[in-house]
Amino acid sequence: DQQVKQNSPSLSVQEGRISILNCDYTNSMFDYFLWYKKYPAEGPTFLISISSIKDKNEDGRFTVFLNKSAKHLSLHIVPSQPGDSAVYFCAASDGNNDMRFGAGTRLTVKP
């Protein structure tokens, strides 16, 4: 039972444009939401997080939006750069170290 879902396995955008990666969850007990980036042959790297008391968190080119009523979060990357090409995982936690991950979305940023 996948409690965190990333329905788009891949996304391709042009350099300089906005990348929007989406994630849906089913468990209303999740309080913390995170995005990770993964390059081949490396472990995932933590990117940005948001708690359920907020609806937006920004860090440089990366912004995460949370819509609790829709159980939906998204990651916006503006402007997208070729170095952003990677697999992005959405994750959620109820605060008890039980962190659930989505299946990932492969982002390709074309020069």
Residues that bind another protein (CB under 8 A): 2, 4, 6, 9, 31-32, 34, 36, 41-46, 49-51, 89, 91, 93, 95-104
* Three-class DSSP category at 40: coil
Kindly tell me which of 69 and 96 has the beta carbon lying closer to another protein: 96
- Dist. CA 26–CA 93, nearest whole Å: 12
- Cβ of residue 101: shortest distance to another protein, in angstroms? 4
Residue type, 29: M
Kindly tell me which of 52 and 110 has the beta carbon lying closer to another protein: 52
- Cβ of residue 78: shortest distance to another protein, in angstroms? 21
- Cβ of residue 104: shortest distance to another protein, in angstroms? 5
Kindly tell me which of 6 and 19 has the beta carbon lying closer to another protein: 6
Kindly tell me which of 58 and 98 has the beta carbon lying closer to another protein: 98
Buried b (16+ CB within 10 A) or exposed e, 63-101: bbbbeeeebebbbbbeebeeebbbbbbbbbbbeeeeebb
Burial of 105 (0-12, 13-18, 19+ CB in 10 A): buried
